[in-house]
Structures are given as C-alpha cells and as structure tokens.
Structure 1
Amino acid sequence: MPNGGVAYFSAEFGLDESLPIYSGGLGVLAGDHIKAAADMNIPITGVGIFYSKGYFQQSINEGGSQQHLYPYIDPEASTYPVQLVRDAEERPLIIEVRVGSRQVYAKAWSVQVGSVTLYLLNTDVESNSDKDRRLTDTLYPSEQDVRISQEMILGIGGARLLAALGIQPEVWHMNEGHSAFLALERIRMLSAEGVPFETALETVKASTVFTTHTPVPAGHDVFSIDMMDRYFCDYYWQLGTDREQVLSLGSLNGTFNMTRLAVSTSSKVNGVSKLHGEVTRDLFHGWMPHIPRQDIPIYSVTNGVHIGTWLADGMKMLFDRYLPSDWAVRSEELDVWAAVRDIPATQLWEEHQRAKSEMVRELGLPLDLSGDGPLIVGFARRFATYKRALLIFRDLERLAHILNDPQRPVCLVFAGKAHPADGPGKELIRRIVEISREERFKGRVYIVDNYAMDKAKKLVQGVDVWLNTPVKPMEASGTSGQKAAMNGVLNCSVLDGWWVEGYNGRNGWAIEGATDTDPDQQDQQDSETLYRLFEEEIVPLFYKRGEHAVPTEWINMMKESISSLAPVFNTRRMVSDYWHKVYVPAIARGRRFVADNFEVASRVAAYKQFIRDHWSAVSVRKVEILADHSSRIGLNKIAFRAEIGLGAIWHKDVRVEAVGADGRRGIWKAKLDPVQQLAKGLYVYEGVSPDVSINIWKANANVRVTPISSDFANDFEMELAAWGAVPCTS
C-alpha cells in the first residue's frame, strides 16, 4: 500500500480454510472486509498475527467431549499462502517489542489478497527465549500474561512493522479492542519527534476509528493495573507524560479496559448492526452516566459477507445467467437483484438440491435425499451459552414428534467449537452428542466436528433452514445467516443482530425474543415460538408441492430472501459504508490535525486542557420551567429559564439546552440562549420546548451544559456535562 490509505488491525483474519489463524465470526468478518476492499480497489493494509498452532483443531470423542489438537502450521510450507517479509538487504524483517522486562522479536509474513497485503507477526524467532517463541502459538490464550503480550505484539509491533516498511496510513482502524495498544505506540512515535503528549493524543485520535463487536461487558479484554505496570513500566515515560495519564486512557472500574482505551483514542466508534449500536450505547452509558444513552456517540455499520467467498458455484451460475452481467460489481444495488424473481422455480430448486447433496456428501452425513427430503436445519456457530444451542431441545418429546414425522421428516445438523476454557460451552456439545444417540433422535440429529470455513461453506449453501437462537440482545450482528440467505437458505432467527434489519415478514421467520424477563421464562417463550413455527409454518410449507412437484411457495420465499437480503448484507455495501462514512471523514480530519506543524491538534489539546481545568466551576444554579407562559423567547410555549455559572469559560464554548424524555425511548432537546449577564461568569439562559404537546412534568426535563468546539468529532467528545439539580433520566 502506498502512503495513505487504511491500516486495518485485527487479532484474527479468516481468509480461507487453508490459513487456519481465525476462531470464528470476528476473523471471518475481517477476512471478508479486506477481500471486499481488494475487489473495490480501496487502499487497505491488514495487520494481524500468524498463529503457529492456529486456534485449535476439534475432535469430539465417543463421550461427546471436545478434544483440542494444535498441529504446527509451518509458514514456510508450500501449503500456506504466506511469504516472509524481507528488508532492503533481503534479510528477514525483524520487529522488536519490549514486553515487560525483556525484548521480544517478531518476524513478519505477508499474504497477498488481490491489491491488499495482509501482514502477520510471529515470535517464533531464534533470538527469543523458548517461552517467547511460543507467545504467538495460539489464538485467544487463557493466560493473561500471554494475552497481554500478544496484544502488545499486535498493536505496538504492528505499528512498528508499518513504520519499518515505510507505510504511513492516514486512517488506523481497530477491529475490536485487541489491537488498541497501537494508539499508545503512535503517541510514543510522535513524542520521540518532540510532539507534546496532549497534541500527540489528539493527532492519533483524529485518524483512528474503532469497531466494537462485543455487546456484553465480559467480552472486553481487561488487565489489572498491576499487570499494566509490569508490562509497561519501561514504556510509560516514552509517551511524554506520566503513568497516571497513560493509564487514564483505559481506566475503568479499577482495571485497564482495552475497549475503553480504543474509545479514548478514536474519533469514531461504531457497532456492527443498528441494534448493536443501541446496545453499545447502553453499555457505554455505564461509563459516562451523566450523558443520556441516546447521546453516547456510537454509530453503526451493519456487517455484510463476501459474496465471492460464500456463494455456491451453482447459484453463481444462475445469477450469471439471469442477473445483469455486471451484478457482481453492483451487488449492493437493490435493482440488480430484482431479476432473481425471474429465475425459473425448477432451476433454483435444482441448484439448491445440488448444493444440499454436496453438503451431505462432503460432511459425511448418512442421509437419503430422494424425494427432496428431509428438511435439513443447520445450526453452526461458536458454542457459547448465550447462543442457546439447546433451545430447540427444551421439549424433547415435542421435538421428536416434529423430526420423526414419516411423511415430513426433519433433520438437525450442528457444528461449532467451544473455547478450550469454556466449560459450559463444551457441555453444550456433550449434551447434543448425548441427545443424538437417543433412539428417537438417531438419524435425525447430527453434530459435525472441527467446524471451519470449508465446512461452513457447505452448510450455509446446503441446508434448507438456518437456525439462530441467541439471547436477545446479546448477538452483535452475526453473519452466518447472511451467507445462508444469499444461497437461498431461509433464516429462522431471534430478532437480534442483523436479522432485525433484514426480516421483512416474507423472507424467513422471526422469533420475537423476549427481553427484560427471567432467563428461564425467556427460554420458555422463545422455544414455544420455535416449535410453533416448525409445526405450523416451516415444515408444512417445505413439503407443500406445487407445479412440477417443487415447493413453489417455499421457492418464492427463497427468492424474496435472496433479493431482499443479498444487496444489503454484503461486504461491498459494508466497505462502501466504511469508506464514505468512516474512512474519508477520518482522512480529512487526520490531515487537518497534522497540517501546519500540528496546529489544530495543538489548539484542541490546549482547549480541552483549559476546559478540564475550569469545568468544576460550571454549574446550573437555578432552573425554571414556565408552562404555557410567555417569555422573551416565545409566547404560549413551555419556556425554560436557567442561571448558568461558567466561571472562566467563555459562553460561546458551551452549549446550554433543556433535555427530556419523549416517552418513546428517545429524548428531545431545546437550545437555550444567553439573554442576560448577571455577573462575571454568570448568565441567564432562556429557550422554549420544541413541541408544545410535550408533558413537561413527565419528561424528567432538566438543563444541561456541555463544552463544544467546531474541531470536535462529536458533541460529547470530552464526555463532560453539567446538569441542574434534578437528574435527567431517559
């Protein structure tokens, strides 16, 4: 990549099954992201880790216990599409990272994905101790010392690698918080050039963006302050500031939180679906309770999948025949996919049956597909408890009746891995194996071991229904159902993640997903919905034959699924969104902050310091709500009058507004303007409500003061707000 462009950091990349350095959805999403960027000629460079033993190879023994195998991946073997990165003298390029009290060395390997290069660091270097040579062996190690070491190699080492290669990105994209130490390294580099810490921080923040994928607090990497001191004791001072200021960037509840660090050092933060954006705002609201959750600056770019990777060959041939000739490069256009409805039902069904037969053969499933049956339901994903793999087994007698109807048989196929340290997840696998061996479920319930991209492709292309039953709203996005949809496989899913946006009532089935209720009650309600859907809708529709002895109504639903979902949930749309909504603004912002010897970055840093130094003097001293009362601002409207103490802060450097709940989980805001100065630093502000129909007394209305600047990335960049005596709840 020439200077400029985007550096895309991720702990895992799932490009292909031939390079097993990924664990699941996050890595596959990262792989699809850079493949789409290559397709679209968007200048991206990937940075990750080459794991010498990958995630793990899974086998399931006779007792149903998951076994973990870690075969060595030799990057020099011809079976892996990687090349050693060399310097100008053709020597292996070695990157050094001080990890605690020792120097650790890493080689770099590269993978070429079209026009995009992915660089992968690995510490299996002779200069390292035996222990350090093993640091990058496995993905997501349970040992905290190994985990923080890996993340230092990824973030700090990755930034140094790009510098050594002469690559100067204009945007740095952190895909999840594992790589967030890159922000500290970039500050260190600027500090070494004589740039003050505060200015360096603003410079780095301006050109950094962060995507969070994890909707639950436990999913975010956290290190103790003692551990941070052990590993960064020789590093703090190199950033041009003291230990406390460095730690404050990630400090949360007495620990160092990598997501907090990523948020503190990014100008834009996004979730991976609209619902996930809302859930993330709820999560981050706990960090900054003085800002209403609706104002937490989290955006959303809903995930998509790479069509070229996940589409069955037969389906691609059909699309080539019936869609516009350039459909593959216009796949984000809705009109392109309208022609799916013109594909003859018999041809679409034949291609689906071909994919189904290939799946059965490749996965070794002992199924007889004569007569187009049985209806095959796929459930394949990481075995984490919140994904509720056992939901469909809640009523075994009822399930057995559904699966064993001799006229309308149904089969369930499960696949997935549990993290080696996840005991409950491994128990899910054991239980499914146990159920599959019951006489009533033999030949009806299967579990496929060692789930990876090769088997995932067969499953999303070949099953009839894709089942997804997470606890709402704990799935950030999910992409497996998107892969299934483009292949004509119908989704039956909880309305969580991407499916809330994709479901239209005609392209699959929805499980509402009860929330804010007892977990057992939620499981009961959702399982009841699931059984009813299979009994009354899914199974009857699948076996209802029409003209030419094919399930015409089912095929119409397949067409609706493809035409409504494929154009929206693909990586061309996703990467286009990132480019226009995230990368381009960050490029412009980054350039502006470094121009003229960091003039804007320096000004913003000084301004923020001034605001912080004097914010304690800001107060909302008196609030009056004048319902149906005239004021000097407006007549016969609800008016607000407040006395605001600003101390040394200029009145044009703050926004004063009335804020209240709108009764629909949103908030309304009414700008207040200064109308009188009572004394130095003390003003009267007035304004009127935006809607005369608001019941002001039920709106928990209050007055808020926030610092503003045209140089801020968002209205709440400083995470500061001063409220009146009445707390605002929304």
Structure 2
Amino acid sequence: MEPLRQKLERLTQNLWWTWRPEVRSIFRDLDLELYQRAHRNPISVLRQIDTRQMENRAMEVDVPARIDRALRQLDEYLHPVTTWGLFHAGPLSTRPVAYFCAEFGIHESIPIYSGGLGILAGDHLKGASNLGVPLVGVGLLYHQGYTSQVLDGTFWQQDVLEPFDLKDLPLRPSLTPRGEPARVGVEMPGRTVWAQVLEACVGRVRLLLLDTRDPANSETDQALAARLYGGDQRMRIEQELMLGVGGARALRAVGITPSVFHLNEGHTAFAVLERARHRVQADGLDPWAALKEAAAATVFTTHTSVDAGHDRFPADLAEEHLRPLAEGLRLPVQDLMALGRVNPADHGSPFMPTVLALRQSSRANGVSALHGVVSRAMWTSLWPGRPEAQVPIGHITNGVHVSTWLATEMDQLFEARIGTNWLDGMVHPDLWTRIEGVDSAEIWEIKQVLKARLVRFIRGRVAATRAHQGLPPVDPPPLDPDALTIGFARRFVPYKRPDLLFTDPDRLAALVNHPTRPVNLIFAGRAHPADQTGKALIQKVNRLLEDPRFRNRIVFVENYNIHVGRNLYQGVDAWLNNPVRPLEACGTSGMKAVLNGALHISVLDGWWAEAFDGQNGFAIGSGESHADPEIQDRRDAEALFRVLEEEVVPCYYDRDPAGVPRAWVKRVKRSIRTLAWRFNSDRMVMDYVRHCYLPAAVAASCQMPPA
C-alpha cells in the first residue's frame, strides 16, 4: 500500500490544488497552525510536519479517504474524455500558444507576482487549463520573490524581502527531447547570461520559469532575476531580454514549437525578435520576411492606460543590448531600434518595448472596451494618416478564475440552486437566471457568515500590525459585524484615489458612525517599492485612521496579497473603486467580489463601464470628465458621498420583518445573473482563442515560405 506521505506528495505536485479548497483543507486539517505559518502551502506543510503526528491526525479527520478521492479527481482532470479546447482549439494541439508574462500570480505561497498583471496571468493559465486549451506559460523565477509590505511606526511602507525555498514549490527541471536538463543562454553586453529552465504544472498547463542562478554566471548575473521589478534600467532591460529571448529559446530547448506567441504586456516584447532571429539563422529566411512571419504569429495585450506605465529605455542602453539580436537578424541595429520608437526617424528618442510589441503583432488588444478606446487614442501616432477609430487595437475584457476566488459557501449555493455542473456551463447567460429563484434569506445568511469570518480575520491582522508598530490595540476591536462593510484594495497610486473619501473627513465620520446605519470601510494595497508618492498616500490614509472617529470603523490591512484579497472579496458587502476615468484599464478585483455576492460601487471606468446596467450595482457619477483634474476630483467625491448616503446605505438597511434587506439582495441576484457569465476567465480565454489565437495561427502558417 502506498504510504500516506507519498500520496500527499503526489497531490502537491500539480498546482491544481490552488483552486481546490477541498484539497487545501486536507493539509489545513493536519495542522492548522503549521498550515498558516507555511503560507498555506501544502508542500511546506509536508516538509515540516512530523510523520507520526501526521498519521495520527490523519485518522482523526478522515484524511486517507479524502486523499484517495482527490487523487482520483486529479487523474480524471488531467485525462479528460473531452474538453472545450478539443472541439474549439484543435489546430493548437500540436503547436500550442506560448503565453509570456513578467509575473504569474498562482498562489500566495509562490511570490513571483506583484499585483493585477500577475494575478490576471495566473487566472489565464487556470482558465486555459480548465478549458483544455493548449497553452504553455513562460516567465522568470524570482528566487527572492517580490516584497512583503510592513508599515513602520510612522505608517511608512517598508519593503521586506522574504526569499522562499524552492523546495516548497512543485518545480522540476525541464528536459530537452534527449532527456537532459534544459539550459539557455542570452547574449548581454560583453557576456552571455545562462538560465536553467524549471517548470511547474498548473492543471493541464505547463509553466516554464527561467532561473539565472546558473554556476556559469557571475554573482551579479545569478542575481539578475532575483527580484521582480528590482534594480535600475539596465537590470530591467536585461530581465526583459532574459524573459523574451531566453523564454523563446527555452521553448525550443524543451521541444515546444508554438504556433502563437501571446505577449502579455510590453515587458515580453523581445520574444518576437528572437523568433524572427531563429528563422533567419536556422532556415535562411530574409530578415524582413522573418519579422513579418513572427509578427503574424504574435498577439499582444496591453494592460495600462497610464503613459508612465510603459517602459522607456535610453537610446544608448537599448542599442547596446539590441546589438546581438540585430547581428542575428543580419540587420543594422538602428533598424531594430526604429521598431521600438514612436518616431522611427528620431534616433535620440527612447526605445519602448510596448511600441515594438504593437508594431510586431498581428493582433493587439486592451483589457476592457473602454481601455480599447483609450489605447487607440494613446498609440494613434504609430499609424500616421489612419483615423483613430481604425487604429488596430481591439479589446478583450479580462475575467477572473472563479474557483480561485469563490467562497466555499457560495460554491455550495450555486451547486444546489444553479446546478451541480454549473462551472462547466457558467459562460451561458441562461444558466444564471436560476439565481432569481433562490430565497433572498438564504443568500443573506451566507453573506453574514462570510462577513463574520472576514471581521475575525481583519481584527487579527490589525492587532498584529499595531503590535509590531508599537501602537496600542484598538479598543473595542474594529469593525461591527452587523454594519455595511465596504472594501477597497488595489495598488496605491494617485489616479486610483484611495484618499477620495477623506477629502471631507467630517462627512465621512458622519457616514461611518451613523447611530442606526453604520458603515465599515476596509482599505488595503501596496505601492511599488520605488514609488514614494504611493507610499506617501498609504501613510496619509493610515494617519487619518488614527482619528478617534475612524479607529473602530475604518481599517487598513497590511501586506495585500492573494490571501488577503481572497478574504476581502468573499466577505465584504460591497466593493469600491473610484479611479480617475479613464485610467483604470480594467480592475478585476470587483469581479471577484461580485461572484461572492457583493455589489460593486464604481466610477464608470474599466470593466464597470460595460457592466453596469443601473440595477446590478452602483455608479459614481455619470461618466463625464472635467478638463480640470481638481474640479473632477471634487465632483467625484461629491458623487461618491451621495451614492453612499442616498442609495447604498438606505438600500442595505431597508429590512423586512425578518431582518432581510430584500431590495439589496435583489440587486445582488441581478449582479450575479448579469455579470457572472461574462467576467470569468473561461469566457476571456474563449475570446482569445476565437479572436486571437486561431486567426494568428492560421495567418502565421500562410506566411511560411514553400518548402
């Protein structure tokens, strides 16, 4: 009989467990304290737990039977009879999509992500896995991870490195077709940097990660990919070369010949040059024919509406680093530089990977309908003489991986009321009409359970933060479990306006401390380690929270990550988003909250501009913008207070004799019915397959010269 520990180890070797709460619960039940201390990582739990203790505890909580069931389910998942991809993405089966991204947010215990881009990438892989779409992820293994956010006694964000042990990740060396460990080299100025290729299984999808801790590298080059978004401009461009050029070479090294390159944000743009270089060197293609062929097979997704969010490398730095690729392509280096300049003839202007990706892709898209409009306006100069509406940048609105973010109680509700196989059909609108037949009291009761759990979680986090800051505990403990609870969590930058409600402290105090209709507000979020303005915003908000009027009603949760986010999305009553329109490209956090029965309160920006129907949430303002930013801020602040005071709060506290807010739950039902089918990763990946991957695969095959 296979030993218990060996079965558990088998269960941990595929990241399928990250979206299966019943599997994670096995490891949680073995040792709850260890599970929490190990960042909820089953592999780390197994490495640390005593075998005898584990076996004794396993019998107490019926673990053996649960393990056998989970292993059977995993085997069935990995060897399906049929999938959506089998019928709709068949041409990709022998030549899959290669999905390049600088970060992947799979689980909080794998800290190679910083925020929305990485979490979206993780959800994309999971969605492709569920659908059976042939796809392989390509990224870098940041062995020092990102950073943990710690607020000091002055509420200033400190960025603490927390290197993780690779033994805690289900990574294994990727092998060449000969069975040897794969290794790739990338030419940098004056040397070659080597990377070992490791891989993880994300369900049915492979994720290749390049690790620069190769013995042949100098100490400096071994640290090249140590940290996500660390270092100066030189390190940044070299990381991007390792990701794009090294990633494309890694695919070849392990025997994968992709039909399509999907470049997820500009950091990955160099992959398309490497694809063309290889064709020139290996197959003798004319350089421009190779570039044309590579572009035909490339899909590019841009994720930001903010100009500063796009890398700009000084001309001399970019030229120095592009020279090896130019030599491989047998082109003057200035020809490659021109591909990445807004004005190709301006030799002194910076090189922009986003511009390279836009020029060298057959299909480009923003991540919401409004973001598509904004992106066409941003980049219209790349297509001189073409009307803005005809700029070739479309949109595919983001979606979220439902199973990753959904509370178990909501899943059980959907299974009982929507159907046992609801996940398989969730992209069909008709399925969600069944939510209207669910008793409002049942939904309300579930939300109260989830909110009570959230309040316990937040109180513990706040107490721990104040303890290490040397501040006294909040007494009585913060947050009223019976109060309307609104969440706000995102990257702290000025355009997201985390301090908008604090522009009128007296009005805010009256709102949250109403004697019969109180409001809880939960804030969370980080600033980029180099962003002093964002850190100042965090400090400003936290200092305001020391006002006695706010201390029990408004909290800031330290170290926003996947784990914190999951708790927030599942437990809040409503989700708040108040960016400067139209700078929010999409904003997927609100989608996660909606799936868990929360209502979205937002400026008509990002995904909400195409989602709000007047009754499935709440809108801040009318979507019009003033030319003066200060006036716009004042308008939006007034609109936000009014929608809270006149719509949100009254609706939440209007109760029937049984204490159920019927009008509120009616909106929740409408929200789920109209939004759940659209804003999920299954629909998103399906859109990419239909509108990007298959057309690009066909176009690329047409570009190939005859044998």
Q: TM-score range by the shorter chain?
A: 0.7 to 0.9
Deviation for aligned residue 1:183: 0.9
Contact 2:576 2:601 in 1 (8 A): yes
Residue 60 of structure 1 corresponds to 151
Residue 526 of structure 1 corresponds to 636
Partners in 1 of 2:196 and 2:418 — Cα distance? 46
C-alpha spacing 1:294/1:88, structure 2 compared with 1 (3 Å): closer
Give per-residue Cα distances to partners, 1:455-475, cap 9 Å, x unaligned: 101101111110001100001
1:422-461 alignment runs, 5 A limit: 422-461=531-570
Q: Structure 1 residue aligned with 2:253, among 159, 164, 173?
A: 164
1:284-433 alignment runs, 5 A limit: 284-363=379-458, 364=460, 373-433=482-542
Deviation for aligned residue 1:371: 8.6
Q: Which has the higher mean CA deviation after the structures are superposed, 388-397 or 324-333? A: 324-333
1:172-571 alignment runs, 5 A limit: 172-192=261-281, 193-253=283-343, 254-363=349-458, 364=460, 373-512=482-621, 513-571=623-681
Contact 1:514 1:526 in 2 (8 A): no
Partners in 2 of 1:439 and 1:90 — Cα distance? 65
Residue 113 of structure 1 corresponds to 202
Q: Structure 2 residue aligned with 1:10, among 101, 104, 110?
A: 101
Contact 1:216 1:283 in 2 (8 A): no
SS of the residue 2:436 aligns to: helix
SS of the residue 1:104 aligns to: strand
SS of the residue 2:382 aligns to: coil
The one-letter code sitting in structure 1 at the alignment partner of 2:234 is D
2:575 maps to 1:575: no
Deviation for aligned residue 1:2: 6.2
Partners in 2 of 1:370 and 1:342 — Cα distance? 32
Contact 1:100 1:232 in 2 (8 A): no
Deviation for aligned residue 1:324: 2.5
Partners in 2 of 1:344 and 1:432 — Cα distance? 39
Q: Which has the higher mean CA deviation after the structures are superposed, 517-526 or 140-149? A: 140-149
2:163 maps to 1:72: yes
- Tell me the TM-score normalised to structure 2 length: 0.82
Partners in 2 of 1:379 and 1:490 — Cα distance? 12
Deviation for aligned residue 1:394: 0.8
1:604-615 alignment runs, 5 A limit: none
Partners in 2 of 1:580 and 1:87 — Cα distance? 31
Contact 2:402 2:680 in 1 (8 A): yes
Give per-residue Cα distances to partners, 1:145-189, cap 9 Å, x unaligned: 110010000000000000001100111100011110011111110
Q: CA RMSD in A?
A: 1.6
Deviation for aligned residue 1:10: 0.5
Partners in 2 of 1:313 and 1:511 — Cα distance? 31
Give per-residue Cα distances to partners, 1:248-291, cap 9 Å, x unaligned: 11122511111110011100111111100000010011333422
In terms of fraction of residues, the more strand-rich structure is: 1
Contact 1:97 1:157 in 2 (8 A): yes
SS of the residue 2:576 aligns to: strand
SS of the residue 1:414 aligns to: strand
2:134 maps to 1:43: yes
Bigger Rg over Cα: 1
Contact 2:480 2:520 in 1 (8 A): no
Q: Which has the higher mean CA deviation after the structures are superposed, 253-262 or 84-93? A: 84-93
Contact 2:519 2:553 in 1 (8 A): yes
Partners in 2 of 1:90 and 1:207 — Cα distance? 29
Partners in 2 of 1:152 and 1:369 — Cα distance? 48
Partners in 1 of 2:415 and 2:480 — Cα distance? 28
SS of the residue 1:47 aligns to: strand
Partners in 1 of 2:164 and 2:235 — Cα distance? 19
Contact 1:19 1:81 in 2 (8 A): no
Q: Which has the higher mean CA deviation after the structures are superposed, 30-39 or 232-241? A: 232-241
Residue 702 of structure 2 corresponds to 592
Partners in 1 of 2:677 and 2:545 — Cα distance? 37
Deviation for aligned residue 1:109: 1.7
In terms of fraction of residues, the more helix-rich structure is: 2
Contact 2:478 2:554 in 1 (8 A): no
SS of the residue 1:424 aligns to: helix
The one-letter code sitting in structure 1 at the alignment partner of 2:380 is H
Contact 2:276 2:329 in 1 (8 A): yes
Partners in 2 of 1:334 and 1:233 — Cα distance? 52
Partners in 1 of 2:548 and 2:132 — Cα distance? 55
The one-letter code sitting in structure 2 at the alignment partner of 1:450 is N
The one-letter code sitting in structure 2 at the alignment partner of 1:396 is P
Deviation for aligned residue 1:362: 2.3
Contact 2:276 2:287 in 1 (8 A): yes
Give per-residue Cα distances to partners, 1:673-717, cap 9 Å, x unaligned: xxxxxxxxxxxxxxxxxxxxxxxxxxxxxxxxxxxxxxxxxxxxx
Partners in 1 of 2:200 and 2:385 — Cα distance? 46
C-alpha spacing 1:286/1:516, structure 2 compared with 1 (3 Å): farther
SS of the residue 2:488 aligns to: strand
Unaligned runs of 5+ in 2: 1-91, 344-348, 463-473
SS of the residue 2:448 aligns to: helix
The one-letter code sitting in structure 1 at the alignment partner of 2:103 is E
Give per-residue Cα distances to partners, 1:308-367, cap 9 Å, x unaligned: 111110000000000033210111110111111111111111111111112122232678
Give per-residue Cα distances to partners, 1:582-622, cap 9 Å, x unaligned: 1111111111111524xxxxxxxxxxxxxxxxxxxxxxxxx
Contact 1:136 1:150 in 2 (8 A): yes
Contact 1:101 1:231 in 2 (8 A): no
| Identity between Structure 1 and Structure 2 (%) | 43
Aligned residues: 595
SS of the residue 1:379 aligns to: strand
